[in-house]
Structure 1
Amino acid sequence: MPQKLTVAVAQARTRSDLPSTLAALKRITAHAASQGVQLILFPEAYLGGYPRTCDFGAAVGARGAHGREQFLKYFQSAVDLGDTPAGAGDDWVERKLPTAPGKSSRGDGTREYLEQVAQETGVFIATGLIEKAAGTLYCSMVFVDPSCDRLANAFWFPVEKTGSERLVWGQGSAATLKAVTTEINGVKLTIGGAICWENFMPLLRQSLYSQNVNLYLAPTADARDTWLPLMRTIGGEGRTFVLSSNQCVRYNELPSWITDHAATQEDGSRYVCRGGSSIVGPMGEVLAGPIWEVAVDDTIDGEDAASSQNHDGLAISEIDLEDCERGRLDMDVAGSYSRNDAFKLTVEGLDLNPPPF
């Protein structure tokens, strides 16, 4: 049967608190479902927030008291999915971990909320989030499969943090780079992903290609015009479809705990992140986007909820997963083109074999 699927990337921004952001995610997903979308990707750190411009009062050898207060606010806004610092793997996915007396589930309810939205809309949801486990924050991504009563997977990213992110996020395990398989209306998917600048890591990309992914998810916080060429490289290099989603945020839309301690008075209407969300095909061709200076939140919350595709902050494309196999006629960087007689890649704690259906 045809292996065609309608996918979307949501250029959405984190709201003032977690409940408001979750409600926005629900509205956006329902809006996407009304346009025939079957899978949607939300940006890096969408739930919990990306603390853009915040220095947390830190300098080499010094910490400011206001920075500790900022971290407290950030920690309190993060998501608790009920996992453990070491990562409980299948035990967490299958709800085998113990729960507190008197409670039916672990965590803060975000997991259950996401599962409910996926089931109600019939849309496979992938979203970036800031996850707290014990006393540490992790920049993560979760997959929520509407065909299951559970999260499909959780990635404890980043494997490597970038710049000042190292101050506030813990380092994830490479074992969480395992791709997952699912079927959506008979379309077979092997889904993997990396967050933001992890996509610049050649060996990390190769670890995903080795698992034969045909859908590569790359939520990001990078709004530079150099980001799209990387997504096109990944698509052509891995012969895979690539979805990349970023937030579109103005200065006055950042949390007050960031802006109240800004070193200078900023122009509130200035964009601190312009977006750039896109969808790329397995030959490196741009299928949708990039979208600039518009957030889907603004269009669906306004009167014009039926804006044209790719101009309302929601980039949509119908993709044919068989194009991945067509592309491997002349390029398979994990197989016939890899020279695996000469080059080997191993990843600590990660089985690189493609996951079985």
Structure 2
Amino acid sequence: MPQKLTVAVAQASTQCTLAATLAALERVTRHAAARGVHLILFPEAYLGGYPRTCDFGTAVGARGAHGRDQFLEYFHAAVDLGDTPTGAGDDWVNRRLPLPRGKEYRGDGTREALEKISRETGVFIVCGVIERAGGSLYCSAIYVDPRDGALGKRRKVMPTASERLIWAQGSPSTLKAVTTELNGVRLTIGAAICWENYMPMLRQSLYSQNVNLYLAPTADARDTWLPLMRTVAGEGRTFVLSANQCVRRRELPGWITANSQDKHNGDEYICRGGSCIVGPLGEVLSEPIWEVSTDDVTDANDPNDPAMAAALSITEIDVEDCERGRLDLDVAGSYSRNDSFKLTVDGLDLNPPPV
């Protein structure tokens, strides 16, 4: 019996405020629900923003005052999900952390807003978030189930290059996969954020948990990204969804562009997108989307708006294709030579979670 469900990647762009971005996320999710989507992926840093081109006033051995002001703007734009700096894991998921005096929830309400959108639309939402906890920022991805709310949250364990100046390292324990059932299909879902996908042992930690839906929110718009996604899908015998933002220079926040001395074409794409969907034999199910965003819609109330249709890639998948692919390759099982090669991750159980 085929185990089919409909999945989508949204090539969306961070808006000028968190409220505007959440409103855009809701609009896209409702549109996806009307088209039968069960799960949707939004890009890396969608909530909070990816500060592309910003150097935060830094050079090796020096920091400028205007860069600290830029970081302050970015810090204030980030999302407070009510977690702790070390990451509270199941205590955060199950709301066992103490509440602030006089409040019914922790954080700034973003978690609750995402849960409401998911519940009302019936769509499982996975979204890239810049999360603040204490005095640090983390590049995260949150899993939101329409029935049970937030099931878990990833924090990027190794920010890439200059990202390490502004984002802290997340705990590897957050690589824990989550499970759910959508459209009668049991899913084990894991995520690797952007260049985490270039970390072989990190990928293996997800394969070991028997994920059949592997999510890769990213900021990488190079032509080399699709071959990596095909490798991951074929290697892990899993469906891979990757979502990226599509951004023109004029769409950058004013606190980034105000200190720029260069004159640029505002319509220049500084990130062209490339969101895609790949099947468990490495076959491309949805070709990369280039130079279009869900935010390019001309009529938000038109369900057939061509820009939305172009930037929201929707594919029906049969999850049993993952098991068909295990006939000849299971890199965490029959093909792994686990009598000779061992992987351990501090704080993470690599056994497949119960479904």
TM-score (norm 1): 0.97
Counterparts of 1:46-85 in structure 2, within 5 Å, are: 46-85=46-85
Question: Mean Cα displacement is larger for which, 7-16 or 306-315?
Answer: 306-315
2:268 partner amino acid: R
Q: Does 1:185 align with 2:183?
A: yes
Classify the secondary structure of the residue corresponding to 1:283.
coil
1:289/1:310 contact within 8 Å kept: no
* 2:312 paired residue number: 314
2:173/2:346 contact within 8 Å kept: yes
Question: Mean Cα displacement is larger for which, 259-268 or 329-338?
Answer: 259-268
* 2:212 paired residue number: 214
Q: CA deviation at 1:249?
A: 0.2
Which of 203, 226, 231 aligns to 1:205? It is 203
Name the Cα RMSD after superposition. Answer: 1.3
Counterparts of 1:129-144 in structure 2, within 5 Å, are: 129-144=129-144
2:22 partner amino acid: L
1:177/1:192 contact within 8 Å kept: yes
* 1:258 paired residue number: 256
Partners in 2 of 1:269 and 1:210 — Cα distance?
44
Counterparts of 1:1-357 in structure 2, within 5 Å, are: 1-148=1-148, 150-156=149-155, 158-299=156-297, 301=299, 305-307=303-305, 312-357=310-355
**What is the CA deviation profile of residues 240-293 of structure 1, one whole-angstrom value per residue up to 9, with x for unaligned ones?**
000000000000001010011113121100000000000000000000120000
Partners in 2 of 1:45 and 1:293 — Cα distance?
18
**What is the CA deviation profile of residues 287-336 of structure 1, one whole-angstrom value per residue up to 9, with x for unaligned ones?**
01200000011126457541569952011100000000000000000000
The verdict on how the C-alpha distance between 1:138 and 1:301 changes in structure 2, with shifts beyond 3 A counting, is: farther
Classify the secondary structure of the residue corresponding to 1:233.
helix
Percent of residue pairs bearing the same amino acid type = 71
Structure 1 stretches lacking a partner, 5+ long: none
Structure 2 stretches lacking a partner, 5+ long: none
Classify the secondary structure of the residue corresponding to 1:312.
helix
1:218 partner amino acid: A
The verdict on how the C-alpha distance between 1:275 and 1:258 changes in structure 2, with shifts beyond 3 A counting, is: same
Partners in 2 of 1:266 and 1:345 — Cα distance?
48
TM-score (norm 2): 0.98
2:325 partner amino acid: G
1:137 partner amino acid: L
